[in-house]
Chain A
Amino acid sequence: MSNKTKLFAAPYCIWGAGFIIIPLIIILIYGFSDTEGHFTFINIYSIFSHVNLKALLLSMLLSVASTFLCLLIAYPLASVLAEYGRDKSPLLALLFILPMWMNSLLRTIAWQNLLEKTGLINAILLFFHLPEMMIINTPWAIILGMVYDFLPFMILPIYNILCKIDIEYKNAARDLGANGWQTFWRITWPMSLPGVLSGITMVFVPSLTTFVISDILGGGKILLIGNVIEQLFTQDNDRNAGAGLSVVMMLFIVISTMITEKYDREGSV
């Protein structure tokens, strides 16, 4: 009986082999070969060219900054939501996830509107005689777009884990004489760490690899590593170089996943 039941997983295993594993192998083959199919490291090395290296470093800088900002904004919000959800209704949390049902490209384009020189934000600032904000087509606009697009990915896992933490732990810490800060640093923060780490991965990877946000809010002048790869495939039709840079990018994703997993294990001990 159990032997036959196992076979139910077979369709997915075949699907996964064909559409997950083999495509990754194909990317590796392209990345490590030249147009004639000979083995080469040249596509991997192309990351060290001036333009590509600059794009990679800028991507790292912007994604680290936006991940940090997301965490800074999402943690207090998730605590408020978790507290509220425990007392009253979990529906409030839904309100913060709802924007994800509006097409994300459109929402990013809407930021273009809001940030424009003649856009709404500047109109409001002008009305109050405040200095205009000129961040459209700069890296600041891209950070804003990343924080905006990926904030729900940070809120959700932190909210979920904070809801699960038993309030009695905090009460016990209070009873034993810990003040608010001590309770937070010794109890709540370590217990919420798995949620924080999964939020970090869920924000860091898409912001490191995006080409859409930089395209729309960067005015096409600011190249991130995602833009470089996208252009290699769609404009230059240089699949080998594109695959090579994708392999480098995957390496960064693997490293960041390993780092968060390491902290996750240490935190749970």
Chain B
Amino acid sequence: MLESLQHLAAGFGVAMTLQNLFYCLVGATVGTLVGVLPGLGPIAGIALLIPVTFGLNSTSAIIMLAGIYYGAMYGGSTTSILINVPGETASVMTCIDGYQMAQKGKAGKALAICAIGSFIAGTIGIFGLVFLAPPLAEAALAFGPAEYFSLMVFGFIVLSNVTGASFLKSLMMAVIGLIIGTIGLDPVTGDGRFAFDSPSLLGGIEFVAVAIGLFGIGEVLVNAARPAELLEQKVVVPHLRELYPSLADLKESISAILRGTGIGFGAGLIPGPAPVIATYASYMVERKISKHPEEFGKGAIKGVAGPESANNAACQSAFIPLFAIGIPFAPPTAILLGALLIHGVTPGPMMITEHPALFWGVIASMYIGNLILLLLNLPFVPFFANILRIPKKVLLPLVMLFCLTGMYTVNNSMFDIWVMILFGALGFLARKWAYEAAPLLLALVLGPKLEVAFRQSLMISHGSFDVFVNRPISLAFLVATALFLLIPLATMFRGRVRIREAAGKGEG
């Protein structure tokens, strides 16, 4: 434990250099902006800024990109409170009581409690990261290809289970993502697959193009589909002096903040869109244990403090599986995995020993980033609120231009732009038919890893599938997967029985 603290101190040394402080500030600011702007979430935001990091060293690059991720969580809450529109999905729960508080003239208080809660959660989350990641990485050293395969399968099943309206639809999206991931060179033999003699296809599908397409352009198109008169918003801009919560508010919220932190931290460790699950769970818990549950939905400060702390803690702990095992459990960390690979760093058990400056530097930067966000968000809230006044019919073309330019800069490739537009259109259609895009993106990034793990396991076992159940850790993941598979089946079956019973009663 003492060793971890020493490493962390060294990490602060890395993060406190002028250059890294600057990129931390840039990341946090851009993150807040993409969180505030509807139509751009953390996934598209990180993907768009990857090319900007090409000239940087890997530590500065990841410091900046990680800043976008947790910065977006702060920004997303601003729009929830001020205009009742979640800037990204993790802020949906904040809309409920946050907007009600704004309606009662307490927008400043709501924003401040968000920032303070997020800061406390972020701080505790980072200590969790410091103490949990190294032992987990050590444990992951025992993982062979079979364990990795089973863990990834577990991840896909859980993510598909918790996202979207239909489990089968999400699972189909994951398989489609895996198939798209096989385009290009076979990771084992080096043969071309599905390339149709095109050199561009032989290079594989650029995951940045898919990410910007599905989550950037897809979102822009969804917004563009709404008739023009619906594109305008009314914005409440709070005054600076309203931004400081009273001691009584803080006292009331602190327990919710701590509970939210615990829930969020746990959610980040398991597969799935951690911040979304964490905010939902935290809100439900707060309402359940409150002495005044009737206040929830009418501007309860705990309904803002809990979920907002939860999503920040989840953001921090989501880095644990990424850094320690090398397997991201949700799209934002999957994009970060892609960025790490571009910079020649393979996250996983060896990363902490091979790239200590990067690992501890990024963790320390998250702490500094949280502080920056606290300082940035409170006084600049009126500025961010004013950004919301830009009409959507101006904002959407701007976002579009930025996506197009950003995509071109990744590889200077026209082919990538076409891929991005295609996935933009697909993202729009997926949204319309309620197919969840997140499993597709995660599968695309993890696909080659999954395939290599699958083939290596079977090579070791001489073609026998026993290898997946004979090894205890792998078996444990598969048993957990089976349990998660049974849940949707059971609910489906129960629903059918209920309907049949109802129909039976109707006939009787």
- Verify that A and B bind, or say they do not: no
**B residues neighboring A (CB under 8 Å):** none
**A residues neighboring B (CB under 8 Å):** none
